[in-house]
Every structure is written in structure tokens, then in C-alpha cells.
Structure 1
Amino acid sequence: MPSIDVIDETFLAVPRERVAAEFADPARWPSYWPDLRPEVAHDRGPAGLRWTVTGALVGTMEVWCEPEGDGTVLHFFLRADPAGPVPAGRPRRARWARAETDRRHRAFKAHAFALKRRLEDGRRAGVAPGEV
């Protein structure tokens, strides 16, 4: 079982193709994950991507773009272990893993909300994507 296990969901009122396109561009990855080196393991087009990751962590990562109503649920998964040493002793390792999982979850959620603001571009609640 990996020591880092991040699971997140964010709804964006835009078609999944637009959301998936944001993650399909490798030039964006360093801004999302500056200390990770993702390598595409499976490109699922508008459904998203799966990566293997190296760098500060070693494991797998995924974005899944699920169509839902008038938009997309962006699912994010990161399951990995540290590439380097962690604090010694079971309680210290457990605290480190919880803190690192929380830090990575918060960082991705900040990116997801920024993406939501940018792609929805001021869309009012209750207005379908593409309508004024």
C-alpha cells in the first residue's frame, strides 16, 4: 500500500474535452507537480490520462474526466511512495505520510479551483456551459 494516497473530485461546468486538454499538455505539468516527473502510461483522450511518476515520489497518478450533467467531474488520484528517506519510526513515518498526503491534496485542489475559474470564465450558476 502506498504511503501517499490522494483522491480528489472537482466539478467543472465545461465539457470534459476542455478539461482533459489542460492535462494533455506536458508543458503544464511542472506547474501542477514541480517535483514530479510524470510519464504517460495511458492516454485516454477526453477521459483523461494515467501516468507513472518519478522524482520526489515514485508511483502512479491519474486524472479522469467524467461527464456529469452539463459539465465534468475531474477526478484526481495520486498513489506513491517517497523516493528518498522519510522520518524513522512508525509514528513519525505515519505523521509524515498524513502531512504529505494533505499537502499534495491541497495543492491539487488549488490547481483544480484555478482551472475551474479560468475555464468557466465567470459563468453564473444555473447557466449551461456556452450560454451567456
Structure 2
Amino acid sequence: MHPQVHLVDDTWIDAAPETVSVEVRDPANWQAWWPYLRLTVTRDRGVKGVQFAAESGPSGRWPALTGTVEIWLEPFKAGVILHHFLRLAPADGQQLPPRVTRRANRRAGWHAKQVFWRLKDSLESRPRETSG
């Protein structure tokens, strides 16, 4: 599969990796984050994130898509970098027109920022647990 919708995005969150992992691994969040995709966990990496097989039905804008979604959590300083990868291609193997590809990538990027900035805001507004 050569993805036509291809997104690589990073968001730093000032929260412990374990805290972010709980949210990332909660199936209740997946439908809100990717309402246009049906996800199947292919690899649960625990505190390091999760990988999915993804597929969508056809919409008015493009055909059915298939591919992968991944969230990798990388501890960094006092928080975590949430790396988000989205790789999708038409399920029928056809090519999307260039204009549709650009629009799909732009929308996926904007959507990812909205989703993960909301997560960032939510987690950073919580009191931080301290050890000791």
C-alpha cells in the first residue's frame, strides 16, 4: 500500500507518559478522535502507544480507505511527545485525484491538531501526581 493520505504529527504534552497512555489506549476516545475510521488494534505497546489497522467506508468525497494509524508516546523532559501517524490509501487500489489527496491530507492534519490539542489541554489542566 502506498498511502495517499499520509500524516506525521507531533504534540508535546506536559503529563506523565503513563497518564497519556491511559487516554490513548481507551477505546472510548478512538471513535471521537477518528469518527470516519473503523480501528482494530494490531499492537498494544502499553505506555509506548498503540497501533491500528484502519478502514473507512466510502464518503461523498472519496472512496473507501484502508491503512494504519499509530500513536507512539516518547518520554521527553517532564512530559511526553505524542507522535501520530496516519497512512491511508483507497481500498480498491485506485489513485485519488491530486486535489482530493491534498484536501484529505490538509483535513487530516487539521483534525489531528484539534484532537491532540484538546487532549493536551485536558491533561495539562489536571493536577500532576508527584512521587515521594
Matched, 1:22 2:23: yes
- CA deviation after TM superposition for structure 1 residue 84, in Å: 6.8
Query: 1:122/1:45 Cα in 2 relative to 1: closer, same or farther (>3 Å)?
Result: closer
- The runs of at least 4 aligned residues of structure 1 exceeding 6 Å deviation read none
Matched, 1:116 2:120: yes
- CA deviation after TM superposition for structure 1 residue 76, in Å: 0.1
The count of corresponding residues between Structure 1 and Structure 2 is 122
Query: 1:84/1:110 Cα in 2 relative to 1: closer, same or farther (>3 Å)?
Result: farther
The residue correspondences of 1:39-54 to structure 2 (distance < 5 A) are 39-54=40-55
Show CA shifts across 1:53-72 (max 9, x none): 01242001100000000000
Amino acid at match of 2:40: E
Q: Over aligned residue pairs, what C-alpha RMSD do you find?
A: 2.2
Match of 1:104 in 2: 108
Query: 1:19/1:122 Cα in 2 relative to 1: closer, same or farther (>3 Å)?
Result: closer
Normalised to the residue count of structure 1, the TM-score between the two structures is: 0.84
Show CA shifts across 1:18-45 (max 9, x none): 1121121112111001110010000000
Q: Please say which of residues 51-60 and 61-70 is displaced more in the overlay.
A: 51-60
The residue correspondences of 1:1-132 to structure 2 (distance < 5 A) are 1-56=2-57, 57-83=65-91, 93-121=97-125, 129-130=128-129
Which ranges of structure 2 fall in alignment gaps of 5 or more residues?
Answer: 58-64
Query: 1:122/1:24 Cα in 2 relative to 1: closer, same or farther (>3 Å)?
Result: closer
The 3-state SS of whatever aligns with 2:97 is helix
Which ranges of structure 1 fall in alignment gaps of 5 or more residues?
Answer: 124-128
Q: Please say which of residues 62-71 and 51-60 is displaced more in the overlay.
A: 51-60
Normalised to the residue count of structure 2, the TM-score between the two structures is: 0.84
Q: Percent identity?
A: 34
Amino acid at match of 2:25: A
